[in-house]
Structure 1
Amino acid sequence: MWTLPGRKGLLSVAVLSGSLFISGCGDDGKDGAPGPAGSDGSNASAQSTTTTTSGFAIPGDAIFVAADAQPGDDITEALLLALFNVPDDATVVLPKGRFTVSETITINSASGLILTGHGINETILDFSNADGDDAIRFEGGTDITIRDLGVYEARKNGIKTISANGVHMTYTATVWEGELASDNGAYGLYPLQSQNVLLENNYAYGSADAGIYVGQSNNIVIRDNSAINNVAGIEIENSTMADVYNNLAAGNTGGILAFDLPGLEQAYGGNIRIFNNTVYANNAENVGSGAVGIVPPGTGVLVYATSDVEIYNNQITDNETTAIAIASYFLADDDVANYPANYGATMTRGWSPLVKNVYMHNNTIARNGADPRGALIQDIVDGYTLMLGETMPAILYGGIGELLSNAGAIAGFDGLVGPEAAADGVDYDAYASGDLICANSNVNGNPAPDYENVNTGLVYDPTGATTSYVDGAPQPSLLIDQMVNNTYLACVQNRLPPASVNFKNNIYGCAGDDLAEHACSL
């Protein structure tokens, strides 16, 4: 049995026939323990408790929803009634057991709301036959807490918040049971266009897009979660000031992703730290569509058109394509001449296809690259295999954006950058020292002789020194060097500052309640 270390307790994850699921074999919280399980996986008793299994104390003035409901009952009407015009600072308690919900539960402009069940395994809401894309959706609001419950089989999204300031999801689960499939829902935990987002002690399984996703948001802490058997385990998209640490990402297509995509309201992100995570065996075939459909199966960490990212002190093992991949948007769309026409509006607001200032250090990397695949890198895979016949590099940097910038081939893009984005440092000039992609002090965890070498690879030589051209287009160089004592990417960047979350006037993260946490001193 695998366990995810956490400050407040352990989320247990068991392995069975290649699948991972929430374990019912023990305590899922610090102080409480589950009651006896019924044949349907719910607790036999539907009586209320004074604390949840994670140790959260339910206040005496809480609003209890469908307290007499029996497992299997449809509690939609009771939920809608309890959450319509819910009072400020209310605690709403869902019953114990597995219940049916037949439509989206929408909560508008809540303030201080705590929506809680009795435990991550004890309160399960089944949306198998529900109408509406979202299972639970918060529109606006401040200081919202969702905890101690599971959302199963949502049509599209599990727990979504949009335009909220203060979001805390803890000891929640979003699950699509069975095999990972394209008709599973898209997003599990899904804060969007929000501020001060804290996600901790959660479990996400089976999403056909991202299990744990934060998009177009700012001031984010994602810690002590398990993301299992999703296309993307944990994804940060077009967001700023995000810390992702002490998580387990296993069995996904890609473990942890940092993306900036064109055309979104928040045009770009940055200052993302990914550290002290276990990123293991993310080898599921990609059943996703849209942007996440490009993720090569077998990718540990993927940084895609996002700048200002620090990746350090992670355990990245047994990913069949590569441990860490760094790619500009040019790898997906190489029609450079048409970028102004296709992306000009979003480039004006600061989105850039380039990737700059990524610093990878002190990661332990082992047994990666044994079976590389995926449409995004197929040409690279074919070329590399023909040349060397070995495993893929554990750290793989595309380099095409840097090459084009250094050659002055995209200098004209500077005319598209708006004044606010330019003031924030967005440009297409040749890469300065602070823009470079750097890797040093990473640890070769491979056992000899089967996986003796751990390599760094450059698909394109960013200096242009070895670059050849066909019909004016640069060709891959496929430069390979050892990861330890490497020549390529051998540079150092400044450390990024920690992110923090202000929730109910308390500070969370490495600059707040985790000051004494080991990961925060690395």
Structure 2
Amino acid sequence: MKNRNLKPAWLKKSLYLCLTAALLAGCSSDDGKDGTNGLNGADGAAGAAGADGNGNQDPSLVTTSGYAFPSDAIFVAPNAQDGDNITADLLLALFDAPAGSTVVMPKGSFVVDETITVANANELTLTGYGITDTKLDFTGATGDDAFRFEAGLDITIRDFGVYEANKNGIKVVGVNGVHLTYTATIWEGALEADNGAYGLYPLQSQNILMEHNYARGSADAGIYVGQSNNIVVRNNIAKENVAGIEIENSNNADVYNNLAVGNTGGILVFDLPGLDQAYGGNVRVFNNESYANNAENFAGGGAVSIVPPGTGILIFATSGVEIYNNTLTDNETSAIEIASYFLSDADVANYPANYGGTMANGWSPQIKNVYMHDNIIKRSGANPRGTLLTDIVNGYTAPVALGGKGETMPAILYGGIGELLSNAGALAAFNGLITDQDAIDDGVNYNPYTAADLICANNNINDNEAAALPQFPDVNIGLVYGTDPTDNAPANFDGDGNPVPTLRSEPLQGNATLLNCTLDRLAPTEVTFRGKTYGCSGDDLAEPACSL
């Protein structure tokens, strides 16, 4: 087995507590501290305001994360008092801000009563004094978004908290170069459908770096990237959202060193139909802690409304995903779930009518090339549930006398129906729907699965302690539909040619044959921002997670 660079459990928990403290109380991190050096970070302190001859900073001119304001910074409402409305001051400061500007929001708690829109900014830095030092209350504000950045180049958003946005906290659309760091989006109180949808929300953008952020209470996704390319999401905390962290219809994404806790689903990778960027891939999810994501699903609608409570990681209708070295603990349905879109919509005959337009551009209900390895799984499946998996749950967990398997829900669960249908030739006609040449060149097809298309799991670790064995005796890999159309033990098709769920399972460790294969490792993602590179082939070359 590869060197896993494992930390003792007490040390890992201490590090996550430190990360929480760093985000909410302001202690500095290595990445923030090294922000002036070469590849290491985006925004250094050279030329900062208030420096004496020895380079010491006036603490009133430095954020809690250690970012020092440059000498030409623009200060918004510097004399504002707690509770003041700073909307007009903020809009004025950001209107047509010159390229390279740093705009500093005041320290304290303030009211903002409309969307703050920034268009076509170039190397803008918008900062407060820290996540809890600059708090912006959007309760009752007009507009869906608290902040909305449209187009532009190399925008940094940092060191403030957004509370109670109408719909979305910080939305970024069509920007090349986004650095979101030490920000928070928070809906306080009960987890309800009328909370805002998205917390941190880059969309249709590229070169996105999201680090040291905190999101709580989103009725869709707390930390989200959609229809974008070249993405690094690292060292964030997503707590008590429907989806903690979500990558949707996006290419080249690395998601690592994050904590997802108390969400409905911890980390999601989706490809959904009908979007401008039809499909994504080359997504790596590694070295994350996905812990106790058992919140009941409080989404008001949309795709995340299908996410089963108790999900550590969910891969849904997307291909080219590597999941490794994650620690998945106390997720009550499954640690990892992998499903094609057919699990949500089984009406195969009507796919051309319902999804033909988006399938022409390369969206596929299939899921291919997913490699799960070297993950640590503990206490999975204590209370499986969720409408997407109702029949599956009953099939696995119901007593044998009632037609079930009488076992703990599998910790790794693969649907398999799309692979079965492809291998049987039942989807071959869908190939004729694909007209986008890029999709064809990228290998989007409905042919029988090759070795490179498989869903593979190996070297995953059952880390249950002895005390957990009475409740969690079986830590299994599960397969809902067998993938071999010629297999009749038991038969994967009934007499009318309809696929039949056979609910197979085997122990996670040992000589399991289900999903026992290996795939080529995916390439790391590189983000380019203000002339520097970020990620495992950039500033994190020495990061242990990047050597796994």
Bin the TM-score by the shorter chain: over 0.9
2:8 is aligned with 1:12 = no
CA contact (8 A) 2:24 2:131 kept: no
Residue in 1 aligned with 2:246?
Answer: 235
Residue in 2 aligned with 1:377?
Answer: 389
Aligned match of 2:367 in 355, 371, 376? 355
Residue in 1 aligned with 2:522?
Answer: 496
Aligned match of 1:459 in 457, 480, 487? 480
CA distance in 2, matches of 1:121, 1:248: 19
Q: In the comparison of the two structures, how many residue pairs are matched?
A: 498
Provide closer, same or farther for how the CA distance between residues 195 and 57 of structure 1 changes in structure 2, counting only shifts above 3 A.
Answer: same
Provide closer, same or farther for how the CA distance between residues 28 and 154 of structure 1 changes in structure 2, counting only shifts above 3 A.
Answer: farther
2:424 is aligned with 1:407 = yes
Pairs within 5 Å for 1:93-112: 93-112=104-123
Pairs within 5 Å for 1:200-219: 200-219=211-230
Higher helix share: 2
Cα displacement string for residues 13-68 of structure 1 (whole angstroms, at most 9, x for unaligned residues) = 69xxxxxxx755x7366799xxxxxxxxxxxxxx9822111000101110000100
Residue in 1 aligned with 2:410?
Answer: 393
2:537 is aligned with 1:516 = no
Provide closer, same or farther for how the CA distance between residues 470 and 66 of structure 1 changes in structure 2, counting only shifts above 3 A.
Answer: farther
Pairs within 5 Å for 1:59-70: 59-70=70-81
Residue type of the alignment partner of 1:399: G
Pairs within 5 Å for 1:436-447: 436-447=454-465
Residue type of the alignment partner of 1:299: T
2:332 is aligned with 1:300 = no
Cα displacement string for residues 245-268 of structure 1 (whole angstroms, at most 9, x for unaligned residues) = 000000000000000000000000
CA distance in 1, matches of 2:525, 2:325: 17
3-state SS of 2:335 partner = strand
RMSD: 1.8
2:452 is aligned with 1:434 = yes
Aligned match of 1:483 in 508, 513, 532? 508
Gaps spanning 5+ residues in structure 2: where?
A: 1-9, 34-57, 399-403
3-state SS of 1:376 partner = helix
CA distance in 2, matches of 1:312, 1:4: 22
Residue type of the alignment partner of 1:125: L
CA distance in 2, matches of 1:351, 1:251: 31
Provide closer, same or farther for how the CA distance between residues 29 and 177 of structure 1 changes in structure 2, counting only shifts above 3 A.
Answer: farther
Residue in 2 aligned with 1:17?
Answer: none
CA distance in 2, matches of 1:130, 1:184: 14
Residue in 2 aligned with 1:37?
Answer: none
Residue type of the alignment partner of 1:509: G
Q: CA deviation at 1:420?
A: 2.2
**TM-score, with normalisation over the residues of structure 1?**
0.93
Residue in 2 aligned with 1:368?
Answer: 380
CA distance in 1, matches of 2:357, 2:541: 41
Residue in 2 aligned with 1:188?
Answer: 199
Q: CA deviation at 1:452?
A: 3.5
CA distance in 2, matches of 1:4, 1:55: 22
Pairs within 5 Å for 1:59-208: 59-208=70-219
Q: Please, which moves more after superposition, 441-450 or 456-465?
A: 441-450
CA contact (8 A) 1:48 1:95 kept: no
CA distance in 2, matches of 1:470, 1:256: 39
CA contact (8 A) 1:10 1:28 kept: no
Q: CA deviation at 1:11?
A: 3.0
CA distance in 2, matches of 1:327, 1:469: 22
CA contact (8 A) 2:187 2:216 kept: yes
CA contact (8 A) 1:5 1:224 kept: no
**TM-score, with normalisation over the residues of structure 2?**
0.88
CA distance in 2, matches of 1:389, 1:66: 64
Aligned match of 1:473 in 498, 513, 521? 498
CA contact (8 A) 2:21 2:27 kept: no
3-state SS of 1:140 partner = strand
CA distance in 1, matches of 2:443, 2:210: 30
Residue type of the alignment partner of 1:398: G
Residue type of the alignment partner of 1:274: V
Residue type of the alignment partner of 2:539: D
Q: CA deviation at 1:471?
A: 4.5
Residue type of the alignment partner of 1:489: L
Residue in 2 aligned with 1:222?
Answer: 233
3-state SS of 2:385 partner = coil
CA distance in 2, matches of 1:368, 1:280: 10
CA distance in 2, matches of 1:302, 1:135: 28
- Which aligned runs of 4 or more in structure 1 are off by greater than 6 angstroms? 1-4
CA distance in 2, matches of 1:454, 1:271: 28
CA contact (8 A) 1:11 1:28 kept: no
Gaps spanning 5+ residues in structure 1: where?
A: 15-21, 33-46
CA distance in 2, matches of 1:10, 1:97: 24
Residue in 1 aligned with 2:42?
Answer: none
Pairs within 5 Å for 1:225-304: 225-288=236-299, 289-304=301-316
CA distance in 2, matches of 1:447, 1:189: 37
Residue in 2 aligned with 1:324?
Answer: 336
CA distance in 2, matches of 1:54, 1:3: 21
CA distance in 2, matches of 1:293, 1:305: 15
CA distance in 2, matches of 1:10, 1:512: 24
Aligned match of 1:309 in 321, 330, 337? 321
Q: CA deviation at 1:505?
A: 0.8
CA distance in 2, matches of 1:29, 1:176: 25
2:27 is aligned with 1:49 = no
CA distance in 2, matches of 1:154, 1:241: 29
3-state SS of 1:272 partner = strand
Provide closer, same or farther for how the CA distance between residues 393 and 3 of structure 1 changes in structure 2, counting only shifts above 3 A.
Answer: closer
3-state SS of 1:242 partner = strand
